[in-house]
Amino acid sequence: MGDIHEVPRPRIATGHLAQYIGQPVCFVGRVEKIHPTGKFFVLSDGLGKHTTVELSEPLDEEISGVIEVVGRVTNQATIMCVSYVQFREDKSPFDLELYNEALKVIHEFPEYFQCGTGRNT
């Protein structure tokens, strides 16, 4: 799925999962728990709602804190992860609630954030 990085990947929260089934998305959340097999983990978004992220290969490192996942939404409303980035919080913590506020704005005003919601033109 290398092409997923070539297309706009709207930023979503847990509440949007249902609308984006089958589509590439970008999800930012805090790691809540990791399955012992390392093949999936749960993230919570700015409202505290949980999303499950699946991996094709198990994790090869410890992840914690806030991470950004790029992937495709499955039929079960989980995210099939293609790539992820861990946010470093040593300089300042990442404000997930504020991020959620920004998400609300993006989705409320899609005419101004055309790449933000995956709806083009």
Partner 1 sequence: MTVRLSEGAIAAIMQGESVSKPVLQVMNTRAIATGTGPPRYRVLMSDGVNTLSCEYEQLRGAFMLATQLNPLVEEQRLAARCVCQVNRFIVNSLKDGRRVVILMDVNVLKTAEEVGGNIGNPQPYNEGQGQQRSAAPAASPAPSKPQQQNGNLSGAGAAAPKYHAPSHQFGRASAPSTVKTPGGSQAKVVPIASLNPYQSKWTICARVTQKGQIRTWSNSRGEGKLFSIELVDESGEIRATAFNDQADKFFPLIELNKVYYFTKGHLKTANKQYSAVKNDYEITFSNDTSVVPCDDAQHIPSVQFDFVSIADLENTPKDSIVDVIGICKSYEDVSKITVKANNREVSKRNVHLMDTSGKLVTATLWGNEAEQFDGSRQPVIAIKGARVSDFGGRSLSVLSSSTVVINPDSPEAFKLRGWFDSEGQLLECTSISDVRGGPAAGANANWKTLYEVKSENLGQGDKADYFSCVGTIVHLRKENSMYQACPSPECNKKVIDQQNGLYRCEKCDREFPNFKYRMMLLVSAWAGQGLVLLVSAWAGQGLVLLVSAWAEQGLMLLVSAWGEQGLMLLVSAWAEQGLVLLVSAWAEQGLMLLVTIADCVEYQWVTCFQEAAEFILGQSAAFLGELKEKNEQAFEEVFQNANFSTYEFRIRVKLETYNDESRIKATALDVKPVNYTEYGKRLVASIRRNAQLG
The residues of the shown chain that bind partner 1, judged by CB under 8 A, are 28, 68, 85-88, 90-92, 94-95, 98-99, 101-102, 105-106, 108-109, 112-116
> Shortest distance, CB of residue 61 to partner 1, whole angstroms?
10
What residue ranges in 1-121 does DSSP mark as E strands?
Answer: 11-12, 24-34, 40-44, 50-54, 66-73, 79-86
Rounded alpha-carbon distances, angstroms, from residue 63 to 7, 40, 43, 74, 81 = 26, 12, 11, 22, 14
For partner 1, give the closer residue by CB, 7 or 105. Answer: 105
> Shortest distance, CB of residue 75 to partner 1, whole angstroms?
28
Place of tokens 């999800």: 27
For partner 1, give the closer residue by CB, 42 or 106. Answer: 106
> Shortest distance, CB of residue 84 to partner 1, whole angstroms?
9
Q: Which region, left, alpha or beta, applies to residue 118 given φ > 0 means left and ψ of -120 to 50 means alpha?
A: left
For partner 1, give the closer residue by CB, 31 or 74. Answer: 31
